[in-house]
Each structure stands twice: as C-alpha cells, then as structure tokens.
Amino acid sequence: MISREPTIERLATAQQLLLTPFGLDESHLSKALAEITAHRVDDADLYFQYTRSEGWSLEEGIVKTGSFSIDQGVGVRAVSGEKTAFAYSDDISEASLLDAARTVRSISSAGRTGRVKTAARKIASSRSLYQGIDPISTLDSTAKVKLLEKVEKLARSRDPRVAQVMAGLASEYDVVLVARADGTLAADVRPLVRLSVTVIAEQNGRREIGSGGGGGRFGLAYFSDEQIAEYVDHAVKAALTNLDARPAPAGEMTVVLGSGWPGILLHEAIGHGLEGDFNRKGSSAFSGRIGQRVAAKGVTVLDDGTIADRRGSLNVDDEGNASQRNVLIEDGILKGYIQDALNARLMKVKPTGNGRRESYAHVPMPRMTNTYMLGGDKEPEEIVASIKKGLYATNFGGGQVDITSGKFVFSASEAYWVENGKIQYPVKGATIVGNGPDALTRVTMIGNDMALDSGVGTCGKEGQSVPVGVGQPTLRIDGLTVGGTA
C-alpha cells in the first residue's frame, strides 16, 4: 500500500466523510463560495465538520452510564468590514449549502468595494502533530469498562478514608474541512481522549474532594497502568491533604504558584487579554501596548498550537491556517496578540493560527491553544524557602477575569501556608485576587521546572468551549491579595 503525505491524507478523509456521501465535490464548494462573492465581501468560508464521540462514567463501583453520538453539519460565513453573517445546517446537501450562501451574502452593502474573487484551488499548509486515528475504536467496550473499574479499585486501595470514587472516560473523533473564498482547502482529523478521576475522602464526619486525570490527541492505549496510577495518586493525595486543611489566612502576601496546571491563572488573567478581538476594540488592559514592558524581566509567555499530541494543539485552525508557536511576551516586553483572520485583517497583521470555533454551528474567533510561561533558573525548593509568610498554591479550581480591567479571582483547591521557608499546614478556602498586568510585574522568582498540565483544560468564551492546554514553572509573585476564611 502506498501512503500519502499526511496533509493530502487528511483532506481525502474529510472529503470521504463530509462530501462524497452527500453527492458533493469541490465544484459544489466553489459554486457556493461564488454565490457569496457575487456580492462584495471581504472574506468568506465554508466549514464542514463530522464529530463522533463516546463517554463512559463510573460511580459507586458501577459503570452506570455510557453515551455515543454523531454530529455533522456545515457553517457558512461571509465577512464585510467588521460585520459577520453566518448560517449553519446539520443537513449537508447542495441545496442547503446554496441556501446558506445566499443568506449570508446579504451582509454586503451595494456600495462596498473590494470583492473577494474565488481563486484557483490550493491546499493549505499544515502540520502533523498527531495521528489521524479514531480513538473510540482503540479499545473495545469491555476494556473501557475494565479500565474504569481498575481506577475505582486502585483509588480505594490507597487509603481506607476513600469513601467514594467517580471516574469518566471520554473519546472523540473530529474531522473538519475548510474551504475559503481565495481557493484554499484545509482539513484536519483530530482525535481527543480524556480520563478523569474524582475521589471523596471522609474522616471524623468531614468530607473532602480531590481530582486527577489527563489526556490528549492520541488513542486510549495511552492510559497504561502507570498513567492510571499517577492520576489516582494525585486525586487521593489532594483529598487526603484537604482533610487536614485549616482555614486560609487573608490579606496581602507573597504567593508561590506551583508548576503545570496553576498556569490556568496565566491563561485566564493574561491570555484572554492578549486575544486580538479585545485588543482591536480597545477593551483589553493590554490594548495598544505592543513594544512596552508589561511584565517583570524573565517573563516570557507563549501560545503554542504546535506541541505534538497536546490537547490544545491543532494541525490547522478552524479557518485553515497552520497552527503556530507565538511569542506573546518576551522577557517582559509585549510582542503581539493572537489572531484569527478577521481581526488580523482589521489590525493589518497576519493571522497566528488561532481562529477557533466550538463546532460548525459557531463562528470562529481568536482563541488560545496551549498557553504557557517559559522556565527560569531557580529551583522550586529555593522559591518556597524564600517565603517569610505566604501561600504556596499547587492546584486551582475555578476562576474568572474582567478583560477590560484585568482583575481576576481564583480559588485554590490545594494550597499550603508557609512561614520562614517551611510548609506549615494545608489550607482551605483560599482565593487569589489580583490584576493580570499588574501581577506580571510582581513576579520575582521563576522556577526551572516548567511543566504543561496533564491534558484536562477546556476554555470558555462567548458561550463557546474548546480544548486547551496551560503550563508554567513554579512562580513567586509578591503582593497578591488572598481572600481566606480565617
């Protein structure tokens, strides 16, 4: 058998799933785009998607639920200036495609110039960051049930205080095809899996929760016995630690953030503020500040959609642009924003491979992929030892940020009180309050232990959710406000 170049292979897979079964080919796509560009528009595209997903969940020692779904459809978009007209249908047919095309082209005013002309076919450049496999078929149903039962048995064996175990296994096979008015064709075949573990521990009538898990763009064979044990140990440790937690002190203090998942604070407090749409509209605290110092020296922040097998990575974004490794802040200086096609055009810069959408029923917008801070030269132990009195937060739950002001609030799900460089005891109920741009200037120590999260992140924006990754080294930030219960 002769293998094809991966980009061509993905395009063929997308056509076989999204065009051929419905009597469509590339000529029908060109016809629909010609309908849109018969009026004067700045941009137009078609976005076809086929998604097959499966989920299993265990509770009280029993796999209680299983789900399976298939969703497919097409989104049709026309852009004129800052305006977007969008229509979508779960009926993939020539009639619905042309109907949607005629609907969205009405966005253009008769007096506009600069019509997009459909051009000769060209296949978009893309990356090969993960295998185009269907992860659902990488384990049979019996093996999936046994995997979840293994998680439950292992968690209970770790400590008699483990009172309840919940586990979930999710798999998704996502195929997309993008056709643009300039003749560009792009496709991606995106596997995605995730294993989640939640443990409730009980002692003297007190109950606490801990969680673990991970995943990425690969098959279910990734969840080896060793990997499962790592997730379980993390969840059990968190629950047992919280059983001994005391009320968190409150006030302004030094805060040290652990490596890996605590990068969610970076994602929310800084990452969203660097998205192109907020900056084009002047509503971000980072608007108009390119070339200026926005963080302490040594702080370098990237958004990188090119890391192999990562949850937030993409071979191409949802507008057909290859993913990129974008340096957003370098040694404290703001270098750029992440962009989709619309905002890049209006800001007169190039797209950065960050045009993302939840599904064919949603419009694309600038979104993060894997956002992280590079490591420094300090040992993590040295950073913790530098705290006179303060908080060491190693895991986070929910949080929120105001893009315009940059203010954020995050709850620490696992944290410790530190005095004179020594960890004293775990604390509960700590919330970290601050301002994203201001917090970056207060970074005084950067660890050499940069780590990405285990593959669990989902980002929400304007009602749309997409998988993402986060990461950072251990960080010391001075003068953050901690809201506590003490």
- CATH code for the domain in which residue 33 is found: 3.30.2290.10
Number of domains comprising the chain: 2
- What would the pLDDT profile of 325-368 be if each residue is shown by its tens digit? 999 999 999 999 999 999 999 999 999 999 999 999 999 999 99
Q: How far apart are CA 391 and CA 384, in angstroms?
A: 9
Q: How far apart are CA 408 and CA 399, in angstroms?
A: 7
- What would the pLDDT profile of 423-441 be if each residue is shown by its tens digit? 999 999 999 999 988 999 9
369 and 343 share one domain: yes
Last residue of a domain, one of 226, 244, 262: 244
81 and 149 share one domain: yes
Per the CB < 8 A criterion, the answer to whether 243 and 424 are in contact is: no
Q: What pLDDT is stored for residue 110 in this prediction?
A: 45
Q: What pLDDT is stored for residue 403 in this prediction?
A: 87
272 and 203 share one domain: no
32 and 42 share one domain: yes
Q: Which of 8, 470, 128 lies closest to 266 in space, CA to CA?
A: 470
214 and 298 share one domain: no
167 and 267 share one domain: no
Last residue of a domain, one of 221, 244, 267: 244
Q: What pLDDT is stored for residue 268 in this prediction?
A: 87
Q: What pLDDT is stored for residue 3 in this prediction?
A: 53
Find the domain containing 345 and state its range.
Answer: 246-483
Per the prediction, the chain carries an average pLDDT of: 94
Beta strands in 318-362 (DSSP E): 325-330, 333-334, 355-356
Q: How far apart are CA 4 and CA 294, in angstroms?
A: 46
270 and 316 share one domain: yes
- What would the pLDDT profile of 220-256 be if each residue is shown by its tens digit? 999 999 999 999 999 999 999 999 999 999 999 999 9
Q: What pLDDT is stored for residue 486 in this prediction?
A: 59
399 and 267 share one domain: yes
Q: How far apart are CA 375 and CA 296, in angstroms?
A: 13
Last residue of a domain, one of 244, 273, 301: 244
239 and 263 share one domain: no
Q: How far apart are CA 481 and CA 476, in angstroms?
A: 14
200 and 308 share one domain: no
307 and 397 share one domain: yes
Q: What pLDDT is stored for residue 469 in this prediction?
A: 97
Q: What pLDDT is stored for residue 399 in this prediction?
A: 78
Terminal Cα distance for the chain, rounded: 68
**Cα 308–chain centre separation:** 14
Q: What pLDDT is stored for residue 119 in this prediction?
A: 65
> Side chain identity at 132, as an amino acid letter?
G
290 and 421 share one domain: yes
Give the residue ranges of the chain where pLDDT is below 50. Answer: 1-2, 110-114
